[in-house]
């Protein structure tokens, strides 16, 4: 697959795909003889994973480190697990914060709903 096809398929710009490869969020992508990127099935899986993890807010640095570990063999299973576990914990606490904030937004929205109807804003 060409970079433009992969870009469309995963909703990640070509520039970003090149950037991800350059900084190591993606392992080196397969190339044609003339040097064009030619994403294999495996390359695409990495793209999909990177897109998913980035959309959840995992930092570039964590992803490059994970890719680095994956490329350095079977002695890194524990490190990889620990890395993922740490990111999971970050995610858990971020979700908790966001849920609390959402409750707060809900409360404020309900007050404004009433205010829109009555013309008077009341926090009760």
Which residues form the interface with DNA (CB under 7 A)?
2-5, 13-16, 18-19, 31-37, 54, 59-61
State which of positions 70-89 bind a second copy (CB under 8 A).
Answer: 74, 77-78, 80-81, 84-85, 87-88
Report the alpha-carbon distance of residue 72 to residue 77 in Å, rounded: 10
Q: Which three-class secondary structure state does DSSP give residue 31?
A: strand
> Smaller CB distance to DNA: residue 50 or 69?
50
- Residue 37 β-bridge partners: 31
5 interacts with a second copy by CB under 8 A: no
Task: Copy the structure tokens of residue 48.
Answer: 């999909």
Q: Which three-class secondary structure state does DSSP give residue 58?
A: coil
119 interacts with, out of DNA, a second copy, none, CB within 5 to 8 A per kind: a second copy
């Amino acid at each position: 697959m060409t970079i433009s096809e992969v870009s469309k398929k995963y909703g990640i710009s070509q520039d970003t795909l090149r950037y991800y490869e350059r900084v190591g969020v993606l392992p080196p992508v397969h190339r044609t003889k003339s040097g064009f990127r030619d994403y294999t099935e495996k390359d695409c899986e990495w793209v999909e994973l990177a897109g998913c993890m980035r959309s959840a807010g995992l930092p570039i640095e964590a992803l490059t480190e994970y890719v680095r570990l994956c490329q350095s063999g079977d002695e890194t299973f524990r490190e990889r697990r620990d890395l993922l576990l740490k990111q999971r914990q970050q995610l858990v606490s971020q979700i908790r914060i966001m849920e609390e904030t959402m409750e707060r937004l809900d409360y404020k929205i309900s007050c404004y709903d009433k205010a829109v109807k009555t013309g008077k804003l009341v926090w009760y």
